[in-house]
Structure 1
Amino acid sequence: MNVSISGHHISVTEAMDTAVREKLEKVERHFDQIQSIKVILSLDNSGASDGGKKSHKAEAIMRVSGQEMFVQALEDDMYKAINEMADKLDRQVRKYKTRQERKKTQGAGRDERYQDTTPAEAVPAA
């Protein structure tokens, strides 16, 4: 799995890098077919001009075969944002994996409910 971590209006420290990689290990345990994950850690000042607190944002774009997943978390602490981002990504991965398994088990055939199409009244009595 290829993980790239970058910062926007913030320098990514070694501790932040380690925290992100440790949290993403949990995601990888649930789904091993991840091609790449791009994580962007940023300081969002949009609410600072009107007296609001500066907000830390953690975003992740994950590529799996045929699909991209995007998650974003805003918190007042960067490590809280990283934790929330990893939890959201983990939920999306488990949901995606469940959908893939459901498609495999259903297959292209018909459901067993549709096997007998003749109504019971139409069958002639012997």
Structure 2
Amino acid sequence: MNVSISGHHITVTEAMNKAVHDKLTKIESHFDQIQSIQVILSLDNSGASDGGKKSHKAEAIMRVSGQEMFVQAFDDDMYKAINEMADKLDRQVRKYKTRLERNKIKGAGRDARYADTAVEDIEPAS
């Protein structure tokens, strides 16, 4: 799994890097066919000039075969935003994995029924 972490208007510290990697290993344990994850940590201080709190944002774009998943989370604390982002991504991964397994079962059922009828048609009558 290829993980790239970048910061926008913020310097990514070693602690932030470790927090992101720790959370993403949990996701990888659920689904091992992840091609890449791009994480963007940013600081939006547009509301800071009028007395508002600075908003930390954590975004992730995850690529698996045939699909791309995007999540983002906002919080006053960067580590809370990272945790929320990882939880959202984990939910999407579990949902995607369930969908793949459900489709695999459906496909196998159809193939088995088709194989039974095909064998009956081919065998010669006695």
Matching residue of 1:12: 12
Question: TM-score, with normalisation over the residues of structure 1?
Answer: 0.84
* RMSD after superposition: 1.6
* Letter aligned with residue 93 of structure 2: V
Give 1:46 deviation, angstroms: 3.0
Gaps of 5+ in 1: 113-126
Range with bigger deviation, 15-24 or 101-110: 101-110
What secondary structure, in the 3-state scheme, does the structure 1 residue paired with 2:84 have?
A: helix
Larger deviation, residues 40-49 vs 96-105:
40-49
Match of 1:71 in 2: 71
Say if 2:57 is the partner of 1:42. no
Q: What is the rounded CA distance, in whole Å, between the counterparts of 2:4 and 2:66 in structure 1?
A: 20
Give the secondary structure class of the aligned counterpart of 1:49: coil
Q: After the TM superposition, which parts of structure 1 deviate over 2 Å for at least 4 consecutive aligned residues? A: 46-51
- TM-score of the two chains, using structure 2 as the length reference: 0.84
Aligned-residue offset at 1:47: 2.4
Q: Distance in 2 between matches of 1:47 and 1:30?
A: 38
How far the C-alpha of 1:52 sits from its partner, in A, is 1.6
Aligned equivalents of 1:90 and 1:34: distance in 2? 12
Rounded Cα–Cα distance in structure 1 between residues aligned with 2:99 and 2:91: 12
| Superposed counterparts of 1:88-107, under 5 Å | 88-107=88-107
Give unpaired runs (5+ residues) of structure 2: 114-126
**Structure 1 vs Structure 2: percent identity of aligned residues?**
84
Structure with the larger helix share: 2
Q: Deviations over 1:16-70 (max 9, x none)?
A: 0000000000000000000000000000123223322100000000000000000
Alignment length (residue pairs): 111
